[in-house]
Amino acid sequence: MNAFRKDFPVLSENKYAYLDSAATAQRPVQVLKAVEDFYRTANANPLRGLYELSIKATDAYEDARARVARFIDASSSEEVIFTKNTTESLNLVAYSYGRAFVKEGDEILIAVSEHHSNIIPWQTLAKEKNAKLVYLYPNEKGEYSLDEVKAKCNSRTRIFAMAQVSNVLGIPKPIKEYAKIAHSVGAVMVVDGAQSTPHMKVSVRDMDADFFAFSGHKLMAPMGIGVLYGKKELLEAMPPFLTGGEMIEYVTEQSATFAEVPHKFEAGTVNAAGAVGLAAAIDYLENVGFDFIEKTEEKLTAYLLDELKKVPHITVYGSDSYKEHVGIVTFNVDDCHPHDVASILDADKVCIRAGHHCAQPLMQFMKVNATNRASLYFYNTEEDVDRFLTSIKNVRKELGYGS
């Protein structure tokens, strides 16, 4: 039995084999308690404080920002903006940086395997500015070649946006190499870290990302808190995204000057309890340790892949190597629509994702309507995988096929 599992109320009774952590992780009691403690002992509107309680709230919120900065190896806390989630973080970059710096005829480079949240903001921006949205395409295993990246990154490229880990295929990308290529043509590198941050040590400085987005809820923090990292000189040059309270310096009837970064980008009352929960989740995550996380996930992924490939009528997508999946296994069962597969597994209390995974362009490229996705985290066990396998072996029979 995994020693950390007891910390997770949803998992503790083993009612569910929860294999959908790529959609959202479960939360340990330490995170739940941190959020409760904030509301019990430090709740006031942060950043407006002329009294002790509000200063406590402000400190809790700013300490969380510093914790995040250390976690992703940012140069300073000012480079960390709290948002709602990865989607909002990427929209912030597209609306603020994109609208200020992308012009007609410019190019935005993205990959066809991106999540819709790293496609639609750029699509919208490209339409508005008459810019061109250029796509990278992978081989049948989901891998991109550096040559294609080099060929498609040119002097017109303003933005290169890519996920560090695909939410469908799991394959980790050499972002550091990509950033070098982007910078050599004067483009900024935007990284969607939603699927990587929960599973591997991230250093925004080492990979030299200009912007890096991730969600708290995929690494055990509450829903509704996310992060945008941005290099300070870029953030300072950008106009605000949302406007209103807390993001101003001085306002008259007809004009305003804006607060310094990061507060310029955090309009309105912030999600301080969420930020505190995120800091607690990061503490928890680092206590578990990325070594343990990677080792556990690799062991379980290898087991799941090996056993799944022995089952007849199964197609597994992505790399043959368990190391290239980051806990994500996407597959189909011959003749069975993924929604029927997920329903049969649901009857056995096995939770997987089925559908297009917010990656319809990738599904079109792979020529499938939909797929099933089982995703693992360090709190999963071999027993979870066994329950999944037992259920999956019966799917075709349950749906009326011979075997």
Partner 1 sequence: MDLKEMYREIVNEHNLHPTHKYDFENPTMFKRGVNPSCGDDLTINLKVEEGVITDGSYVGNGCAISQASGDMMMDLIIGKTVDEAKHLAEIFNRMIKGEVTEEELEELEDAQALIDISHMPARVKCALLSWRTLSEMLDENN
Q: Which amino acid is at 284?
A: Y
Q: Is 75 in the site for partner 1 (CB under 8 A)?
A: no
Residues 310, 80: Cα–Cα separation, whole Å:
46
Q: Is 116 in the site for partner 1 (CB under 8 A)?
A: no
Q: What region does 318 belong to: left with phi over 0, alpha with psi -120 to 50, or beta? A: left
In this chain, which of 370, 381, 386, 393 binds partner 1, going by CB under 8 A?
370
Question: Least distance (Å) from partner 1 to the CB of residue 380?
Answer: 23
Question: Least distance (Å) from partner 1 to the CB of residue 290?
Answer: 34
Residue with tokens 């368990």: 322
Q: Is 340 in the site for partner 1 (CB under 8 A)?
A: yes
Instruction: Tell me which stretch binds partner 1 (CB under 8 A): 162-170, 203-211, 270-278, 334-342.
Output: 334-342
- Please tell me the total number of residues recorded for the chain in this structure: 403
Residues 262, 259: Cα–Cα separation, whole Å:
8
Site for partner 1 (CB under 8 A): how many residues? 18
Residue 403 exposed, middle or buried by CB count within 10 Å (0-12, 13-18, 19+): exposed
Q: Is 208 in the site for partner 1 (CB under 8 A)?
A: no
Question: Least distance (Å) from partner 1 to the CB of residue 61?
Answer: 36
Active site includes 336?
no
Q: Is 347 in the site for partner 1 (CB under 8 A)?
A: yes
3-class secondary structure, 230 = strand
Residues 6+ apart with CB under 8 A from 391: 344, 345, 348, 350
Give yes or no for a contact between 265 and 91, defined as CB atoms under 8 angstroms apart.
Answer: no
Give yes or no for a contact between 21 and 5, defined as CB atoms under 8 angstroms apart.
Answer: no
Which of 283, 398 has the CB closer to partner 1?
398
Q: Is 32 in the site for partner 1 (CB under 8 A)?
A: no
Instruction: Tell me which stretch binds partner 1 (CB under 8 A): 221-229, 304-312, 330-338, 378-386.
Output: 330-338
Q: Is 390 in the site for partner 1 (CB under 8 A)?
A: no
Residues 249, 153: Cα–Cα separation, whole Å:
39
Residue 228 exposed, middle or buried by CB count within 10 Å (0-12, 13-18, 19+): buried
Q: ∠ CA(133), CA(130), CA(177), 5° rounding?
A: 30
Active-site residue (options: 153, 336, 351, 358): 358
Q: Is 43 in the site for partner 1 (CB under 8 A)?
A: no
Instruction: Tell me which stretch binds partner 1 (CB under 8 A): 106-114, 159-167, 316-324, 342-350.
Output: 342-350
Which of 72, 345 has the CB closer to partner 1?
345
Q: Is 313 in the site for partner 1 (CB under 8 A)?
A: no
Which of 305, 345 has the CB closer to partner 1?
345
Q: Is 23 in the site for partner 1 (CB under 8 A)?
A: no
Question: Least distance (Å) from partner 1 to the CB of residue 22?
Answer: 17
Q: Is 398 in the site for partner 1 (CB under 8 A)?
A: yes
Give yes or no for a contact between 209 and 187, defined as CB atoms under 8 angstroms apart.
Answer: no
Q: Is 369 in the site for partner 1 (CB under 8 A)?
A: yes
Give yes or no for a contact between 359 and 114, defined as CB atoms under 8 angstroms apart.
Answer: yes
Tell me which residues touch partner 1 (CB under 8 A): 336-340, 342-344, 346-347, 355-356, 369-370, 398-401
Residues annotated as catalytic are: 358
